[in-house]
Structure 1
Amino acid sequence: MNNRFFRVYRAESGDRHFLAKISAFLADRPGSLAELAGIFKQYSINIIFFSYDRSLHPNRVLLEVRSSTDTELSQVYNVLSTHNLLDSGLKADTSALGVLDTRSILKIEVRLEHKPGTLGDFALLLAQHDANVMHMEYNEEISDTSAKISLFTQDPDEVDKLLKDINAHGYYYSIIFKGAGNKEIEDVIGLNLTERFFFKLKSLLKTEDISRLKKLIASSQKMTGTLMKFSNEAGKHYEEGNIITNVLTFASVSLMNTGTNFSYRRMPLLTFNNVIFHAFRMPTGGNIYILQGSEDMVMIDSSYGLYYEDVKSMLRENGLDPSLVGRIYLTHADADHSGLSGYFAGEFGSQVYLHKDARGIIDHENRAWGSGSPISDLNHYFTVLVNEFTKLSIPGNWIEYRTDSIPHESGFMLIDKFTFCGQTYNILESLGGHTPGQVFIFSYESGLIFTGDYLLNIESLGPEERNILNYPKYMMTSTNVNSLLFRREMEMLKEFIGRLDRELGNSGKDAIVVPGHGDYYSYRTVFNNPVS
């Protein structure tokens, strides 16, 4: 009978009764506690210690019981063994999402008569209301008549019915909390990491859309599992809690910078004949660039969708009418570059242009789609999260760049071009090192070259901006689907822009690198400085 899950010993003092320390199996469902406690009641065995924390192990209960003889304990052992109610020592799934409404949470301190069967009777009452215990502590040495119990019901309205029934059965109790709020939820013992994540997301996103939240949680869990596997193989150690914390932080840094908290930095205006170039740095996400003519405007890259209302106000503050944005050219489909394009298309009829390879990325919610990257799964999980967190909107009727595939001196293919106020903007197709469907846009007339996430001027980024840009890298292990190819493209771009700058210099102009993050810059001024 003695093993590590059921150990019997004799009391050293008093009436020399028998004690047993038990590690029992508890199904994570309403009624399981009543079933377990009922077994001890059946054999008149008194429970003197009971500890259960669903968040640590949803199927493990630690008990200490007292019996006048060891015969009853032997009988209980046989029943527990027969019904597989002894702890097997197996690792449990602590990621189940069982609590979906804080109003269904109740924590009470209840007075229980100190005799065999009392806990079983009370547990049976809980079961009648489909209440699932998620944390319970009872210790005879601390208080032999008091137990603290945290539980949740399947229906929030059932909480009041349960309390009324507890009263009707003559139990004395005090409510520690009922229907935990956002602050109290931190103090609820028994909620697992997934449920805490669920409630934080729910509060952060201000949504009651359970299916949307479950989708985000599923993607986060898959990302977590994959990251932990990758880290173990690399000899590192990622903690599940740290990964979830980073996901929440990544979500909050953008969500907390909208409305009255929205801020932006306007970079100096540049004028190229009859075109005025506007550059705006968002609080997070990619930059927004505007080419302003006499009658309309072109936008190049559009930052996160959640900034849409703020961006319209920003443009108006700077004398720009958002309804005049007739065309939006996107360097790639990442949410921080394309996110609010669909809102402009919906409200103002703006035409949105993207590379054809973006279609697979959008349809499959995977920024590595079609690349064959070994981190494609991580890219998928990240894409799902960032698209939801930042309210991505790309119109369904976006227009594909042509793919003429004309060899260009840069080593990239020249696939398309557009004109604006007499200036021609050429579109080069990347090799796909950062993400499939990335393009570079440049003009000989203005000297502007839009590089997306290539050739950032790192020195122009503040510590907080660099930190924010590191979150995607943490969650995907790399923001590039092919890092070797990305570095090759960087060198190709540098060489091409160097030649372009020398050519423009003959007519008194500069090649101006316009990256997706940080400040634009004259290529000449940073040629010998590290760029990324």
Structure 2
Amino acid sequence: MRKFSFIAHMPDAPGSLHRAAEIIKEYDGNINRIQFDRRIDPGTVFYEVTATDESYRKITGKLAEIGYLQSSIKPLDFLKFCVYLPHQPGALYEFLSYTTSAGANIALIDFDDKGRHPHRLTVSLNLEQSMVIDQLLDQLKSRYRLEIIEYDKTGRHLDDTVFYVRYAQEVRDIIGESEETFLLSFLADTNHIVQELMDRGCDPRRAFDCVLTTGRTINETKGDRFYADVQQFPLSPGITLYCFQLPCGGSIFLIQTPDEIVMIDTGYGIYHDAVMTMFSHYGLGNLRNLSRIIVTHADADHCGAAGFFPVPVLLHKDTLEIIRTNNRAYGSRNQESVLEEFYTKMINLFSEFNAPQDIRVFPDPVGLSRGTLPVISTFHAGEVTFEVLEGLGGHTCGQIFLYSPTHGLIFAADSVINFASLTKERADYSSLAAFLVTSVNVNSELAKQERTTLLALAEETDRALAGTGQRCLICGGHGAVSVLENGKLTPLGDIEHYVAKKE
């Protein structure tokens, strides 16, 4: 017995759901999940069933035989026109016989003999084949006076009677053409998280909009529309820290020494080409001196471009498992959450995730700690020595932090962020993830403990550096590099706005 999922598109008529359930029962299938909501789409139903391979083959075969199984999600043609009917009994009936014969789904019909145009009928149709539309128009033109208002073959103007077809077309616009099986699977996964969010009292339309807005926002900030906010800090003679805040998602940090460059987090894969151009603008060339990448955690905005670089990638073993399982909630109490799993798949798809290749896993803790955070390793970037601190599993399992007490540096990943330094655009983008997973932290209590420990460590470091002219720089996974001023995060130094050059 295995679990299968499929999509049914059935008549909006009494008994349709009952007929499908009868077929599933007939072949010993057990329904694990069903979702149908007329407010979203009056004909599309999502199923998950447990059955043997043979039973599932018979179930889907029978559903296909009666026209219920949806095996493709191709865009429909949309036609809107006015037709002038004779004002006599049976005129509408005769006209509708043509549309019915063509298999057209009427999305809109509008007629009023007391209105400004008493003989004009306005109709919108959704059809599956352009050839059918052409044949229908030829038939109608020979019988009636017609005015074509709109004829669209892209699927962009379909109405909500075929909501999922229109939604699939909008996904295509973001990711390009894809296999039908992939789109059907993505639709089913989206429907599943919408079902979960509806159970929590959320508006289903907002959930669909958040998914599409996430993909569009990333797409609209790549290439020649890319930009970043950049900070530079001299750490010691010949050693410079760079912070690049990307348009969406996390920041990239580079530590440049006379002999090497160390990268901390990579940003989204979709930004890679634009990021490399930006590095050249700042005199970093093609990073030929890049020696290694440190990944703080497995979210795509922090490691999604790691596979582009032919250098070792150092990360926590749980981060590796999150990448392997494609589920950011791996190892947490939310591991079975459909929201977390879908979000991981969605963001990896939209951001063109490129997984690291040459992976080196940090060792287990050896007994040393900084507050509640175990020390699991150390490394050097030039003369700067870092401790690698293991997180508690608050934001994600496997998140790590980097700490240099002598140079006053804390790379706090997504556990300490100067939210006030985020632009409105970045804050709005971040809110999309917060809605789709209800909380970006897989364990909010542990995330709070991580933040408390890191801020206490920053205060302790500031006290130790007093009189040297140095401050403890808090390098959050998002936002500006900051220092603590009276307990509040305050951006430090100048922030330069970089904009990609138009080609």
Please give the TM-score of this superposition, normalised by the length of structure 1.
0.72
Superposed, 1:171-210 pairs within 5 Å as 171-179=144-152, 185-186=156-157, 188-207=158-177, 210=180
1: CA distance between counterparts of 2:236 and 2:474? 15
Tell me, yes or no, if structure 1 residue 292 matches structure 2 residue 256: yes
Deviates more, 1:443-452 or 1:480-489: 443-452
2: CA distance between counterparts of 1:491 and 1:157? 65
- Superposed CA deviations along residues 67-112 of structure 1, whole A, max 9, x for unmatched, are xxxxxxxxxxxxxxxxxxxxxxxxxxxxx9987325x222233345
Tell me, yes or no, if structure 1 residue 361 matches structure 2 residue 326: no
Asked if the contact 2:329/2:335 (under 8 Å) is kept, the reply is: no
Give the 3-state SS of the residue equivalent to 1:322 in structure 2.
coil
Q: Which residue in 1 is equivalent to 2:363?
A: 402
1: CA distance between counterparts of 2:301 and 2:471? 28
2: CA distance between counterparts of 1:484 and 1:221? 29
- Superposed CA deviations along residues 21-75 of structure 1, whole A, max 9, x for unmatched, are xxxxx9359xx9xxxxxxxxxxxxxxxxxxxxx978747xxxxxxxxxxxxxxxx
Q: Give the Å deviation of 1:257.
A: 1.5
State the Cα RMSD in Å. 3.2
- Superposed CA deviations along residues 128-176 of structure 1, whole A, max 9, x for unmatched, are 44433333345565577653332233233432233234446x3443322
2: CA distance between counterparts of 1:219 and 1:289? 34
Do the aligned partners of residues 211 and 316 (structure 1) sit closer, same or farther apart at CA in structure 2, a change above 3 Å counting?
farther
Q: Give the Å deviation of 1:315.
A: 0.1
1: CA distance between counterparts of 2:188 and 2:376? 38
Q: Which residue in 2 is equivalent to 1:253?
A: 217
Do the aligned partners of residues 152 and 359 (structure 1) sit closer, same or farther apart at CA in structure 2, a change above 3 Å counting?
same
Structure 2, unaligned runs of 5 or more = 1-9, 17-37, 44-69, 491-503
Give the 3-state SS of the residue equivalent to 1:510 in structure 2.
coil
Query: What amino acid is aligned across from residue 105 of structure 1 in structure 2?
Result: F
Do the aligned partners of residues 155 and 465 (structure 1) sit closer, same or farther apart at CA in structure 2, a change above 3 Å counting?
same
Q: Which residue in 2 is equivalent to 1:529?
A: 488
Give the 3-state SS of the residue equivalent to 1:481 in structure 2.
coil
Do the aligned partners of residues 196 and 528 (structure 1) sit closer, same or farther apart at CA in structure 2, a change above 3 Å counting?
same
1:421 to 372, 382, 406: 382
Q: Which residue in 2 is equivalent to 1:162?
A: 136
Please give the TM-score of this superposition, normalised by the length of structure 2.
0.75
Do the aligned partners of residues 171 and 283 (structure 1) sit closer, same or farther apart at CA in structure 2, a change above 3 Å counting?
same
Q: Which residue in 2 is equivalent to 1:150?
A: 124
- Superposed CA deviations along residues 196-231 of structure 1, whole A, max 9, x for unmatched, are 433333334444555554444433322222122123
- Superposed CA deviations along residues 382-415 of structure 1, whole A, max 9, x for unmatched, are 2222222222221344332222443313222222
Q: Which residue in 1 is equivalent to 2:233?
A: 269
Aligned residue pair count? 430
Query: What amino acid is aligned across from residue 267 of structure 1 in structure 2?
Result: Q
Give the 3-state SS of the residue equivalent to 1:350 in structure 2.
coil
1: CA distance between counterparts of 2:428 and 2:438? 15
Tell me, yes or no, if structure 1 residue 484 matches structure 2 residue 449: no
Tell me, yes or no, if structure 1 residue 222 matches structure 2 residue 192: yes
1: CA distance between counterparts of 2:411 and 2:370? 17
Deviates more, 1:330-339 or 1:353-362: 353-362
- Superposed CA deviations along residues 264-321 of structure 1, whole A, max 9, x for unmatched, are 1211332324422111111221111001122331110111222111100000000002
2: CA distance between counterparts of 1:377 and 1:189? 28
Do the aligned partners of residues 530 and 291 (structure 1) sit closer, same or farther apart at CA in structure 2, a change above 3 Å counting?
closer
Asked if the contact 1:135/1:149 (under 8 Å) is kept, the reply is: yes
Structure 1, unaligned runs of 5 or more = 1-25, 33-53, 60-95, 232-237
Q: Which residue in 2 is equivalent to 1:87?
A: none
Superposed, 1:456-475 pairs within 5 Å as 456-475=417-436
Asked if the contact 1:419/1:425 (under 8 Å) is kept, the reply is: yes
Query: What amino acid is aligned across from residue 199 of structure 2 in structure 1?
Result: K
Asked if the contact 1:303/1:338 (under 8 Å) is kept, the reply is: yes
Tell me, yes or no, if structure 1 residue 244 matches structure 2 residue 212: no
Tell me, yes or no, if structure 1 residue 329 matches structure 2 residue 294: yes
Do the aligned partners of residues 359 and 139 (structure 1) sit closer, same or farther apart at CA in structure 2, a change above 3 Å counting?
farther
Tell me, yes or no, if structure 1 residue 451 matches structure 2 residue 415: no
Asked if the contact 1:226/1:378 (under 8 Å) is kept, the reply is: yes
2: CA distance between counterparts of 1:56 and 1:245? 13
Tell me, yes or no, if structure 1 residue 500 matches structure 2 residue 461: yes
Rg comparison, structure with higher value? 1
Give the 3-state SS of the residue equivalent to 1:331 in structure 2.
coil
2: CA distance between counterparts of 1:55 and 1:120? 28
Asked if the contact 2:41/2:160 (under 8 Å) is kept, the reply is: no
Deviates more, 1:349-358 or 1:115-124: 115-124
- Superposed CA deviations along residues 315-373 of structure 1, whole A, max 9, x for unmatched, are 00000023422311110011111121122x3xxx1222221112332233221122022
2: CA distance between counterparts of 1:118 and 1:381? 50
2: CA distance between counterparts of 1:255 and 1:120? 47
Do the aligned partners of residues 389 and 158 (structure 1) sit closer, same or farther apart at CA in structure 2, a change above 3 Å counting?
same
- What percentage of residue pairs aligned between the two structures are identical? 27
Q: Which residue in 1 is equivalent to 2:78?
A: 105
1: CA distance between counterparts of 2:485 and 2:429? 24
Asked if the contact 2:232/2:240 (under 8 Å) is kept, the reply is: no
1: CA distance between counterparts of 2:134 and 2:340? 45
Do the aligned partners of residues 195 and 101 (structure 1) sit closer, same or farther apart at CA in structure 2, a change above 3 Å counting?
closer
Do the aligned partners of residues 370 and 123 (structure 1) sit closer, same or farther apart at CA in structure 2, a change above 3 Å counting?
farther
Do the aligned partners of residues 55 and 119 (structure 1) sit closer, same or farther apart at CA in structure 2, a change above 3 Å counting?
farther
1: CA distance between counterparts of 2:248 and 2:293? 20
Query: What amino acid is aligned across from residue 395 of structure 1 in structure 2?
Result: P
Deviates more, 1:267-276 or 1:202-211: 202-211
Superposed, 1:272-283 pairs within 5 Å as 272-283=236-247
Q: Give the Å deviation of 1:114.
A: 5.8
Query: What amino acid is aligned across from residue 471 of structure 1 in structure 2?
Result: L
Give the 3-state SS of the residue equivalent to 1:406 in structure 2.
coil
Asked if the contact 2:83/2:146 (under 8 Å) is kept, the reply is: yes
Do the aligned partners of residues 98 and 176 (structure 1) sit closer, same or farther apart at CA in structure 2, a change above 3 Å counting?
farther
Do the aligned partners of residues 465 and 380 (structure 1) sit closer, same or farther apart at CA in structure 2, a change above 3 Å counting?
same
Do the aligned partners of residues 372 and 209 (structure 1) sit closer, same or farther apart at CA in structure 2, a change above 3 Å counting?
same
Give the 3-state SS of the residue equivalent to 2:227 in structure 1.
coil
Do the aligned partners of residues 294 and 210 (structure 1) sit closer, same or farther apart at CA in structure 2, a change above 3 Å counting?
farther
Q: Give the Å deviation of 1:446.
A: 2.8
Give the 3-state SS of the residue equivalent to 1:223 in structure 2.
helix
Query: What amino acid is aligned across from residue 317 of structure 1 in structure 2?
Result: H
Query: What amino acid is aligned across from residue 27 of structure 1 in structure 2?
Result: P
